[in-house]
């Protein structure tokens, strides 16, 4: 690499994370934005009829350059957050928002695409290229290209504000999560907690030079405390801290309440400007579902079918809590604890016991073996520059030794890393002349890090999360599409994106898969069949409750964005109303769930949270074909690759599903998989 060059502008290879500094960001972005602007002016100045190679291709190249420079910045901002980087990120974010919003509402560019669509050369484009042009036309409409000139500045202003509000919302959640910690000196207060959780808490305290046990609101610390701590007051204390993050109960500068109201109002204003009745309608215009009403009906039907099971789950839990645990009047902070105890009593095993069988050193090879069985692909450790010593890099190769894709794997939770798990693209497959660019993905999780010199141990839930994110990764990496706009997950309808990921979760319940990926941390023995059978029996434990919870969030999101002009009540009141309708347990008044619902206020899930359940219908039904033919069938694997993974966004998700399954999707497989049929 040329040392004088800005590392963010070096596209010769993967990002040089060690050379990237916050001080590179502004310069790189400014340079690319001005180059791209010059290109747009140049393209618009031409009076030739636009073609793919003279018009679309150069624009795709330019936009890819911009995302290759910004991608590492945004990625580092999520996984290695620092005050300097955050500042650089926030300083440059508005420029990008303005650039993309400016393109989307550029009537002259829109007209060029219309000209291309009407020209003779359109008919000779590939299926993928045609789909890209059609998506572009739709996105120009949704981006405001057809708005009267007088409306455009306001529309632009809304996009900018929304993007800043989203970034602030997410920062507040991260900061509020990190701001809290609880150090317990007396081990007696921690009765019930498993040894490895105690050890990790002790380690966390030690790292700060203090004694005792440090607990935080990050998942690997918070979750086990809620599940295992016998100390009810302690559970209540940390529960309250968790569910009031970024609310009026904490520091005023981290309170997301007003941000929620502003975000919803601005989204609806933009939707109305475009002629929609609500933001929900705008959101669905590019999704698989046809209308907010269709989604509302879908969610209500699912709620209707799941509710009897949820009511049964709740009744059992109340009875168990009072009669066996002596917890009269079970509260929200007792639910995880009582559930784990009930599960233990009923199925006679604990999450902790299972966890001992899933060391990272077995889980990863087990996952890779499955990929080999289904798709004939090998995964091998490889080398690239990374951003943290814990991050690994892998190649995926086919039987002929050809490189298919590569991915970074960043598994452990740490401070300054955003919570949750996700897949993001670093490079997307596309043809550039004679060369096809190899796709590269970032896979990020927040699992418990190894303690001492033992390998990291994963709970079964964490194994499922890993498979889920790997499913997204495969969707991105196994694409066969050669044009950027619909390659991998690009251009796939948002409510179908969770198909390949949720599909992968099913394998975590197959003996033939799991038995190859376990080894007890101490005894070194594989997972006993009897324990696996108990896990299967417990699989649908409280599935009614879990389903209703997802429906509650989905309806909240959909209806919050469903009324444009009159806001009938605050977000919190709306959530309350929905809970009265579908929930079987209502949390305490101080619960401020919306204030940290980053999926819809900072992620891309606005009026789209239903996508999880919607796509689960697809994934469960797709998996049904494997169940009918043997879940390790390489023939069905090849078909899934060919009809679903390979085609990316080059055709509607429904067509891909039908091509794979031979018919339209059916809700029954989902209910059957959850034991609710």
656: nearest Cα among 156, 288, 373, 349: 288
| Nearest position to Zn ion, beta carbon | 501
| Residues 579-608 interacting with Zn ion (rule: CB under 5 A) | none
Residue with tokens 């709740």: 314
Concatenated DSSP letters of 395-439: EEE-TT--EEEEEEEEEE--TTS-SS-EEEEEE--EEETTEEEPP
3-state class (DSSP) for residue 667: coil
Q: Where are the beta strands (DSSP E) in 126-260?
A: 181-184, 213-216
Q: Which one-letter DSSP state was computed for residue 457?
A: B
Structure tokens at 19: 């050379």
Kindly state the smallest distance separating residue 159's Cβ from Zn ion, in Å: 25
Q: Which residue, 255 or 498, is less far from Zn ion as judged by CB?
A: 498
Q: Which residue, 10 or 505, is less far from Zn ion as judged by CB?
A: 505
214 alpha-carbon distance from chain centroid? 28
3-state class (DSSP) for residue 142: helix
Stretch that binds Zn ion, among 268-276, 305-313, 495-503, 658-666 (CB under 5 A): 495-503
Kindly state the smallest distance separating residue 636's Cβ from Zn ion, in Å: 22
Q: Which residue, 10 or 425, is less far from Zn ion as judged by CB?
A: 425
| Residues 208-267 interacting with Zn ion (rule: CB under 5 A) | none
Kindly state the smallest distance separating residue 445's Cβ from Zn ion, in Å: 12
Kindly state the smallest distance separating residue 458's Cβ from Zn ion, in Å: 18
Residue with tokens 């929304």: 162
**Cβ-defined contacts of 473-476 (< 8 Å, 24+):** 473/407, 473/423, 473/441, 473/443, 474/371, 474/375, 474/500, 474/504, 474/645, 475/500, 475/501, 475/645, 475/648, 476/405, 476/423, 476/425, 476/428, 476/439, 476/441
Concatenated DSSP letters of 74-131: HHHHHHS--HHHHHHHHHHHHHHHHHHHHHHT-HHHHHHHHHHHHSGGGGGS-HHHHH
501 is a site residue for Zn ion (CB under 5 A): yes
Concatenated DSSP letters of 606-664: TTTTTHHHHHHHHHHHHHHHHHHH-TT-HHHHHHHIIIIITTTTSS-HHHHHHHHHSS-
Kindly state the smallest distance separating residue 111's Cβ from Zn ion, in Å: 37
Stretch that binds Zn ion, among 124-132, 290-298, 496-504, 662-670 (CB under 5 A): 496-504
Kindly state the smallest distance separating residue 472's Cβ from Zn ion, in Å: 6
Report yes or no: 557 and 600 within 8 Å, Cβ to Cβ: yes
Q: Which residue, 422 or 511, is less far from Zn ion as judged by CB?
A: 422
Stretch that binds Zn ion, among 374-382, 490-498, 507-515, 666-674 (CB under 5 A): 490-498
Q: How far apart are CA 639 and CA 12, in angstroms?
A: 35
Kindly state the smallest distance separating residue 160's Cβ from Zn ion, in Å: 28
Stretch that binds Zn ion, among 101-109, 301-309, 374-382, 498-506 (CB under 5 A): 498-506
Report yes or no: 348 and 399 within 8 Å, Cβ to Cβ: no
Kindly state the smallest distance separating residue 501's Cβ from Zn ion, in Å: 4
66 alpha-carbon distance from chain centroid? 23
Catalytic one of 64, 281, 340, 469: 469
Stretch that binds Zn ion, among 224-232, 261-269, 399-407, 492-500 (CB under 5 A): 492-500
Partners of 181 in beta bridges: 216
Q: Which residue, 271 or 423, is less far from Zn ion as judged by CB?
A: 423
Q: Which residue, 462 or 498, is less far from Zn ion as judged by CB?
A: 498
Q: Which residue, 308 or 604, is less far from Zn ion as judged by CB?
A: 604
Report yes or no: 66 and 33 within 8 Å, Cβ to Cβ: yes
Q: Which residue, 495 or 498, is less far from Zn ion as judged by CB?
A: 498
Concatenated DSSP letters of 314-371: HHHHHHHHHHTS--SS--HHHHHHHHHHHHHHHH---HHHHHTT-BHHHHHHHHHHHH
Q: How far apart are CA 490 and CA 22, in angstroms?
A: 28
157 is catalytic: no
Stretch that binds Zn ion, among 224-232, 497-505, 623-631, 642-650 (CB under 5 A): 497-505
Residue with tokens 């806001």: 567
Q: What contacts 130, CB < 8 A, 6 or more positions away?
A: 122
- If binding means CB under 5 A, how many residues of this protein chain bind Zn ion? 2
Q: Which residue, 466 or 636, is less far from Zn ion as judged by CB?
A: 466
Neighbours of 566 (CB within 10 A): 6
3-state class (DSSP) for residue 584: coil
Q: Which residue, 464 or 584, is less far from Zn ion as judged by CB?
A: 464
Stretch that binds Zn ion, among 34-42, 236-244, 501-509, 652-660 (CB under 5 A): 501-509
Q: How far apart are CA 621 and CA 671, in angstroms?
A: 10
Kindly state the smallest distance separating residue 230's Cβ from Zn ion, in Å: 34
Kindly state the smallest distance separating residue 471's Cβ from Zn ion, in Å: 8
671 alpha-carbon distance from chain centroid? 23
Residue with tokens 């202003």: 157
Q: Compose the 439-478 pattern: x for residues touching Zn ion by CB under 5 A, - for all others.
A: ----------------------------------------
Kindly state the smallest distance separating residue 446's Cβ from Zn ion, in Å: 14
Q: How far apart are CA 161 and CA 73, in angstroms?
A: 20
Stretch that binds Zn ion, among 106-114, 494-502, 514-522, 644-652 (CB under 5 A): 494-502
Kindly state the smallest distance separating residue 377's Cβ from Zn ion, in Å: 21
Q: Which residue, 428 or 519, is less far from Zn ion as judged by CB?
A: 428
Structure tokens at 3: 């040392």
Q: Which residue, 136 or 469, is less far from Zn ion as judged by CB?
A: 469
Residues with catalytic annotation? 469
The residues of the shown chain that bind Zn ion, judged by CB under 5 A, are 498, 501
């Amino acid at each position: 690499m040329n040392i004088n060059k800005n590392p963010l502008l070096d596209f010769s290879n993967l990002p040089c994370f060690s050379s990237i500094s916050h001080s590179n960001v502004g310069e790189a972005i400014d340079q690319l934005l001005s180059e791209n602007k010059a290109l747009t002016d140049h393209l618009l100045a031409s009076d030739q009829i636009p073609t793919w190679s003279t018009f679309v291709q150069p624009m795709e190249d330019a936009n890819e350059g911009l995302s290759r420079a910004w991608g590492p910045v945004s990625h580092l901002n999520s996984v290695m957050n620092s005050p300097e980087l955050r500042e650089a990120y926030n300083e440059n974010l508005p420029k990008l928002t303005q650039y993309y919003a400016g393109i989307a509402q550029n009537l002259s560019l829109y007209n060029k695409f219309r000209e291309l669509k009407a020209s003779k050369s359109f008919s000779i484009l590939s299926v993928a290229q045609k789909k890209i042009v059609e998506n572009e036309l739709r996105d120009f409409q949704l981006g405001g290209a057809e708005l009267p000139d007088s409306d455009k500045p306001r529309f632009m202003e809304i996009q900018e504000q929304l993007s800043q509000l989203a970034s602030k919302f997410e920062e507040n959640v991260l900061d509020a999560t990190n701001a809290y910690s609880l150090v317990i000196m007396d081990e007696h207060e921690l009765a019930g907690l498993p040894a490895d959780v105690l050890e990790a808490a002790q380690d966390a305290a030690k790292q700060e030079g203090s004694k005792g046990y440090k607990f935080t609101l990050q998942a690997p610390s918070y979750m086990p405390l809620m599940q295992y701590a016998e100390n009810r007051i302690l559970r209540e204390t940390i529960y309250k801290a968790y569910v009031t993050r970024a609310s009026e109960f904490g520091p005023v500068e981290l309170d997301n309440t007003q941000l929620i109201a502003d975000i919803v109002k601005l989204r609806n204003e933009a939707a109305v400007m475009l002629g929609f009745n609500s933001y929900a309608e705008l959101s669905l215009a590019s999704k698989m579902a046809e209308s907010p009403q269709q989604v509302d009906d879908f969610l209500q039907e699912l709620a209707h079918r799941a509710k009897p099971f949820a009511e049964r789950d709740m009744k059992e839990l109340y009875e168990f809590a009072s009669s066996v645990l002596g917890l009269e009047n079970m509260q929200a902070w007792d639910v995880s604890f009582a559930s784990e105890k009930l599960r233990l009593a009923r199925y006679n095993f604990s999450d902790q016991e299972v966890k001992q069988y899933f060391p990272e050193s077995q889980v990863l090879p087990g996952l890779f073996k499955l990929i080999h069985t289904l798709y004939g692909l090998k995964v091998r450790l490889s080398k690239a520059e990374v951003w943290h010593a814990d991050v690994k890099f892998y190649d995926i190769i086919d039987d002929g030794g050809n490189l298919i894709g590569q991915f970074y794997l960043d598994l452990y939770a740490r401070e300054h890393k955003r919570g949750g798990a996700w897949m993001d693209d670093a490079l997307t497959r596309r043809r550039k002349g004679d060369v096809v660019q190899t796709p590269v993905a970032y896979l990020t999780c927040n699992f418990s890090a190894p303690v001492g010199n033992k390998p990291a141990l994963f709970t079964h839930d964490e194994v499922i999360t890993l498979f889920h994110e790997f499913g997204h990764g495969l969707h991105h990496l196994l694409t066969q599409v050669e044009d950027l706009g619909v390659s991998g997950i690009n251009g796939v309808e948002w409510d179908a994106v969770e198909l390949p990921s949720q599909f992968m979760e099913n394998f975590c319940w197959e003996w033939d898969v799991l038995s190859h990926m376990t080894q007890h941390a101490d005894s070194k023995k594989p997972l006993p069949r009897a324990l696996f059978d108990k896990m299967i029996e417990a699989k649908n434990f409280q599935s009614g409750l879990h389903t209703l919870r997802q429906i509650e969030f989905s309806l909240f999101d959909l209806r919050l964005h469903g009324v444009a002009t009159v806001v009938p009540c605050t977000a919190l009141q709306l959530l309350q109303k929905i809970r009265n309708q579908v929930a079987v347990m209502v949390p305490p008044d101080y619960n401020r769930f919306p204030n940290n619902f980053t999926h819809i206020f900072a992620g891309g899930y606005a009026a789209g949270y239903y996508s999880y359940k919607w796509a689960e219908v697809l994934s469960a039904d797709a998996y049904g074909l494997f169940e009918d033919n043997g879940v390790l069938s390489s023939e069905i694997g090849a078909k899934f690759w060919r009809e679903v993974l390979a085609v990316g966004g080059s055709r509607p998700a429904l067509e891909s599903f039908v091509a794979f399954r031979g018919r339209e999707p059916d809700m029954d497989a989902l209910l059957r998989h959850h034991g609710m049929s």
